[in-house]
């Protein structure tokens, strides 16, 4: 099947926060997660079908075709855009990305695109100029420890153009937007010999997340935490070190709270 690749037109300034060397570390590097959703505005059609085969993100800002990574789709196939209006959306796919720059987003379509008007289906063709790419420059700095959502707001009313011959052309008009949906907590548990384990606790006893500290450095990162105030519990799994806690650790969406070094005695 022939596929049509769209690099969506527009510009989106995204600031993605986090920090860690790996998912349990507090150094530079690591990963963040991203989910991409499809949403649409009202349009005077019965249905608008898009054949979505792939969603890709470019993890570099250069002009080459290198660096594209493909999201894991919930399903590939035909979506009716008009099912996702008035605040309704659908998850297209998700991906875990390395720390660094995210340059662009690309939607790859198959050829089974159509519009239904007064009960009659018409194929949606795509001009050859658009097949070479409509670009959305995300230009985001990605570090680790925060989860994000990006919405592809597909304006069906403005994206379908009728020609003089009565056929219909797909010229995507898309408004992307993003929000951070979580935050994180990082720090170090010392001494390393204690082999510390860290717990994020709410309501006195509800453990929301936990992680072992890095065996070599003592660094830890609790990621994907909902915005809230936490108590951190630190437990030694080696030696005779005593457990300890830190209260009133505030997590906000889009940021990683650094609690510094915590020493078990």
Task: Indicate which CATH number applies to the domain containing 231.
Answer: 2.60.40.1120
Confidence grade of residue 127 (pLDDT, cut at 50, 70, 90):
low
Sheet of 228-236, strands arranged across = 206-212, 196-202, 228-236, 244-251
Cβ atoms of residues 158 and 33 within 8 Å: no
Q: Is residue 247's pLDDT more than 90?
A: yes
194 with 113, same domain: the answer is: no
Q: What does the pLDDT read at residue 233?
A: 96
CA separation, residue 152 to residues 45, 55, 91 (Å): 20, 11, 10
**Greater model confidence, 21 or 201:** 201
Nearest to 255 by CA among 138, 93, 147: 147
Confidence grade of residue 169 (pLDDT, cut at 50, 70, 90):
very high
Q: What does the pLDDT read at residue 60?
A: 73
22 with 67, same domain: the answer is: yes
Which tokens hold the place of 36?
């991409």
Planar angle of CA 219, 207, 213, nearest 5 degrees: 15
Nearest to 18 by CA among 104, 105, 106, 102: 102
**Greater model confidence, 14 or 79:** 79
Q: Which of the residue ranges 10-14, 144-148, 212-216 has the most confident prediction, judged by mean pLDDT?
A: 212-216
143 with 231, same domain: the answer is: no
Q: Which domain holds residue 149?
A: 4-180
129 with 14, same domain: the answer is: yes
**Greater model confidence, 263 or 110:** 263
* Residue at which a domain ends, from 130, 154, 180: 180
* C-alpha span between 261 and 30 (Å, rounded): 20
pTM listed for this prediction: 0.75
């Amino acid at each position: 099947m022939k596929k049509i690749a769209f690099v969506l037109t527009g510009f989106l300034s995204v600031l993605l926060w986090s920090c860690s060397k790996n998912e349990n570390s507090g150094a530079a590097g690591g990963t963040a997660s991203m989910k991409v959703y499809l949403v649409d505005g009202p349009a005077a059609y019965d249905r608008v079908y898009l054949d979505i085969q792939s969603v890709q993100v470019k993890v570099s800002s250069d002009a080459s075709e290198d660096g594209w990574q493909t999201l894991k789709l919930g399903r590939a196939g035909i979506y009716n855009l008009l099912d996702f209006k008035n605040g309704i959306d659908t998850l297209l796919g998700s991906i875990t990305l390395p720390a660094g720059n995210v340059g662009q987003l690309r939607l790859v379509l198959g050829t089974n695109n159509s519009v239904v008007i007064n009960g009659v289906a018409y194929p949606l063709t795509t001009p050859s100029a658009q097949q070479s790419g409509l670009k959305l420059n995300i230009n985001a700095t990605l570090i680790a420890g925060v989860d994000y959502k990006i919405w592809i707001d597909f304006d069906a009313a403005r994206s379908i153009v009728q020609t003089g011959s009565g056929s219909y052309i797909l010229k995507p008009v898309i408004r992307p937007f993003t929000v951070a949906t979580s935050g994180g907590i990082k720090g170090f548990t010392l001494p390393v010999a204690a082999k510390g384990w860290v717990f994020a606790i709410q309501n006195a006893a509800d453990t929301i997340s936990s992680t072992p500290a890095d065996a070599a450095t003592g660094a830890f990162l609790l990621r994907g935490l909902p915005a809230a105030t936490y108590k951190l519990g630190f437990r030694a799994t080696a030696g005779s070190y005593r457990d300890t806690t830190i209260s009133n650790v505030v997590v906000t969406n889009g940021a990683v709270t650094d609690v510094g070094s915590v020493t078990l005695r």
